[in-house]
């Protein structure tokens, strides 16, 4: 299992990388951790003429606090995120999501930016990005733009990134007071990917009502989505056990669930309701603590 031959480029700055990406256009593939791209190249499902390795761009490996937000460089690995003291304290949803990905070796290599750009329907990150209303910065030789997570995931393995654009920064808000978050995932027993994954961030009012709630769901449909119907059922309400069950039943409304050998569409639909409810319960517990 050997990839087709290609020309290899190893830029040492983002500016050099964007210039190469714009010059080579659709003939080139960016390489971050390589844990989605290389398996595809080995199977010859992908055979780019040029590979632009972003691995030397140390400038995109940071995790830092910026006012009420946290900024993460696209090249930060899953392991960096899982083990970041800053994230474990101020945005635990990201550290908790990272811990659920693949296995230790995969987490050492795989990157946040690579996962988002790859947009695997069973990938874990999109759920958290949606629940946090993340903003994603795309940089190209022409300049930069910020894309809201809601607009980023366009379809099956397709995103709003244009050819020549490099995902550089991911920006998320820190966890406010009286808030909690959680990621619950049904792992595929062989691959580790999300058969269903639900990410929740919830904020309570002083009186204990749900002031804000955001729910990202992955694994169910062709792309990750916000469970807007569940959110609508809950905002402004008191989170009783019964209300959570009833609201979570709408977790896959309007979505055509994937079906494969492992999980039928009906089963995924069912799992979505169960995992959304469990994630809500855990996030609420944390918000009350």
Partner 1 sequence: MNIRVRINGAAREDEVEPRLLLVHYLRDVAGLTGTHIGCETSICGACTVLMNGEAVKSCTLLAVQADGAEITTIEGLTAEDGRLHPLQQGFWEEHGLQCGFCTPGMILAAHQLLSRNPRPSRSEIRRALEGNLCRCTGYQHIVKAIEWAAEKMGGSTS
User: Phi and psi at residue 285, in whole multiples of 5°?
Assistant: -55, -45
Q: Which does 95 bind (CB under 5 to 8 A by kind): partner 1, ligand FAD, none?
A: none
Spell out, one character per residue from 21 to 40, where the chain touches partner 1: x when CB under 8 A holds, - when not.
----------x--xx--xx-
Task: Identify the residue among 17, 24, 30, 51 touching partner 1 (CB under 8 A).
Answer: 51
Q: Which does 137 bind (CB under 5 to 8 A by kind): ligand FAD, partner 1, none?
A: none
Q: Which does 161 bind (CB under 5 to 8 A by kind): ligand FAD, partner 1, none?
A: ligand FAD
d(CA 227, CA 171): 21
Spell out, one character per residue from 23 to 42, where the chain touches ligand FAD: x when CB under 6 A holds, - when not.
------xxxxxxxxx-x---
Query: How many Cα atoms sit within 13 Å of 44 on the Cβ side?
Result: 4
d(CA 218, CA 215): 10
Spell out, one character per residue from 237 to 266, where the chain touches partner 1: x when CB under 8 A holds, - when not.
------------------------------
**CA neighbor of 60 nearest in space, from 169, 166, 162, 147:** 169
Query: How many Cα atoms sit within 13 Å of 134 on the Cβ side?
Result: 32
d(CA 276, CA 126): 15
124 binds ligand FAD (CB under 6 A): yes
CA distances to 116, 119, 123, 212 from 156, rounded to whole Å, are 12, 7, 11, 29
Nearer to ligand FAD by C-beta: 125 or 183?
A: 125
d(CA 180, CA 273): 19
Stretch that binds ligand FAD, among 120-128, 203-211, 223-231, 259-267 (CB under 6 A): 120-128
d(CA 190, CA 187): 8
Task: Identify the residue among 24, 74, 127, 227 touching ligand FAD (CB under 6 A).
Answer: 74
List residues near ligand FAD by CB under 6 A. 29-37, 39, 54, 74, 101-102, 106, 110-111, 113-115, 117-118, 120, 123-125, 161, 166-167, 191-193
């Amino acid at each position: 299992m050997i990839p087709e031959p290609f020309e290899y480029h190893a830029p040492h700055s983002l500016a050099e990388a964007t210039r190469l990406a714009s010059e080579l256009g659709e003939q080139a593939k960016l390489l971050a951790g390589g844990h989605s791209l290389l398996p595809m190249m080995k199977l010859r499902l992908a055979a780019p003429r040029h590979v632009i390795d972003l691995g030397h761009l140390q400038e995109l490996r940071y995790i830092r606090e910026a006012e009420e937000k946290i900024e993460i460089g696209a090249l930060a690995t899953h392991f960096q995120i899982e083990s970041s003291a800053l994230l474990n304290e101020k945005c635990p949803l990201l550290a908790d999501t990272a811990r659920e990905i693949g296995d230790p070796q995969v987490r050492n290599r795989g990157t946040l930016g690579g996962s988002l750009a790859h947009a695997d329907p069973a990938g874990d990150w999109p759920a958290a990005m949606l629940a946090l209303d993340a903003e994603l910065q795309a940089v190209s030789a022409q300049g930069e733009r910020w894309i809201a997570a809601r607009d980023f995931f366009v379809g099956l393995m397709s995103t709003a990134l244009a050819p020549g654009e490099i995902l550089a920064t991911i920006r998320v808000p820190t966890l406010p007071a009286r808030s909690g978050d959680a990621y619950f995932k049904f792992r595929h027993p062989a691959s580790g990917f999300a058969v269903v994954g639900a990410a929740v961030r919830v904020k309570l009012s002083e009186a204990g009502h749900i002031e804000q709630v955001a729910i990202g769901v992955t694994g169910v449909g062709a792309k990750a989505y916000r469970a807007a119907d569940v959110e609508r059922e809950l905002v402004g309400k008191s989170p009783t056990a019964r209300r959570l069950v009833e609201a979570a039943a709408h977790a896959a409304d309007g979505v055509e669930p994937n079906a494969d050998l492992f999980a039928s569409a009906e089963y995924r639909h069912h799992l979505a309701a169960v995992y959304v409810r469990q994630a809500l319960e855990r996030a609420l517990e944390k918000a009350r603590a």
